[in-house]
Amino acid sequence: MEKLKHRLLTIIFLFTTIFFFANGQEVKALSCAEKKGSLQEELDGSTGAVYGEIKKIKVDLKQEGITGTKEKVRYILVEVERSWKTEVDSQVIVATDPTWGFNFKEGSKYFMFISEMDGELSSSPCSTTIEMKNLNQATKQFGEGLEPKQQVNLESKMGFMMEQDFDLYIVLAIILVVSAVFIMRARKKRKRG
């Protein structure tokens, strides 16, 4: 029985050690070159721009597998009134950096440049974002723009985004289940023998 306890504690220690050391974090630094040129030139260099109201803001934890690098991404749900250079739906979810990104507020309206990367719209912390009270400011600068191509509701997609990391809880649950199985087997052997 003592050997079994020793083996069990060794297995738990190994799993825990491997899990924590395999979860190293990357450190990133931000450097934005000073902008030279007009807003129109910035629009020409981006995928496009949108103007609309921020409906919801959520931070999501992204990770590749259990031991992959963890990265927090802030997602904003925008009710789009107009877009420039690219046609979008009535609502879009835009990824932004939670650390250096623009300080968006729910209920406020913004003009922001967007880019598409890996099938996801994003707004770089280095691109221009302007809080605007009404659409006229944007249309004076960039023209009438494009109406949304179709009405959509993406609020339900925002519900699946979570900032909490559940990997540790899953590993601990597995360790508890394995431990319980070993203990139950040991007790049965002891009762028989």
Per-residue pLDDT 10s for the chain (193 aa) are 677 677 777 777 666 666 655 555 555 555 666 666 788 888 888 889 999 999 998 887 776 665 666 677 888 999 999 999 989 999 999 988 877 767 889 999 999 999 888 888 888 888 888 898 889 888 888 889 999 999 999 888 876 655 555 556 667 778 888 888 888 888 887 777 6
Give the Cα separation of 54 and 136 in Å (integer).
18
Give the Cα separation of 46 and 50 in Å (integer).
11
Buried b (16+ CB within 10 A) or exposed e, 128-141: bbbebeebeebeeb
Question: How far, in whole angstroms, is CA 4 from its chain's centroid?
Answer: 43
Q: Which has the closest alpha carbon to 42: 115, 147, 151?
A: 115
Q: Collect all residues with Cβ–Cβ distance below 8 Å to 101 and sequence separation of at least 6.
A: 74, 123, 125
* Structural tokens at position 146: 């494009």
What is the enclosing helix (H) or strand (E) of 17? helix 2-21
Handedness of CA 44, 50, 153, 64 (dihedral sign): positive
* Structural tokens at position 16: 């825990």
Give the Cα separation of 88 and 130 in Å (integer).
19
